[in-house]
């Protein structure tokens, strides 16, 4: 992708992905889901998850899987409010960008 992905957009994408899973989801799956829309490395994703945890947008719990603990991330009410804000802002943002970029199409 030729466009840079800012922190707010990454936060929005991660929150949207985690919000789809009512019981939460784990880091590797989140990475794969994010990679389906943008290029991202695990080393980029985990600071995003830590920031969202710090901001009370996500909560975490561990669950055994295959004899090992797997860390699951689940969206909080604060996270849902933040996601709603991102969704509203995104609609306005893409409308403005499309008006400029796609004006002649």
34: which residues sit within 8 A by CB, 6+ positions away?
Answer: 10, 13, 14, 17, 40, 45
pLDDT in tens, 63-93: 988 889 999 999 999 999 999 999 999 999 9
* pLDDT at residue 12, rounded to an integer: 97
Helices 42-54 and 7-19, packing angle to 10 deg: 80
**Domains of the chain: which residue ranges?**
7-101
Strand bridging mode 58-65 / 25-26: unpaired
37-67: pLDDT as tens digits: 998 887 889 999 999 999 999 999 999 888 8
> Who has greater pLDDT, 2 or 28?
28
Specify the CATH class of 7-101 in words.
Answer: mainly alpha
Whether residue 30 has pLDDT greater than 90: yes
Flag whether the pTM goes above 0.75. Answer: yes
């Amino acid at each position: 992708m030729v466009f840079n992905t800012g922190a707010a957009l990454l936060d929005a994408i991660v929150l949207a992905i985690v919000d789809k899973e009512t019981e939460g989801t784990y880091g590797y799956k989140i990475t794969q889901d994010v990679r389906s829309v943008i290029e991202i490395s695990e080393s980029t994703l985990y600071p995003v998850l830590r920031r969202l945890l710090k901001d009370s947008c996500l909560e975490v719990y561990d669950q055994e899987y295959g004899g090992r603990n797997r860390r699951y991330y689940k969206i909080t009410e604060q996270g849902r409010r933040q996601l709603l804000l991102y969704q509203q802002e995104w609609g306005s943002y893409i409308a403005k960008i499309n008006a400029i970029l796609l004006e002649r199409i």
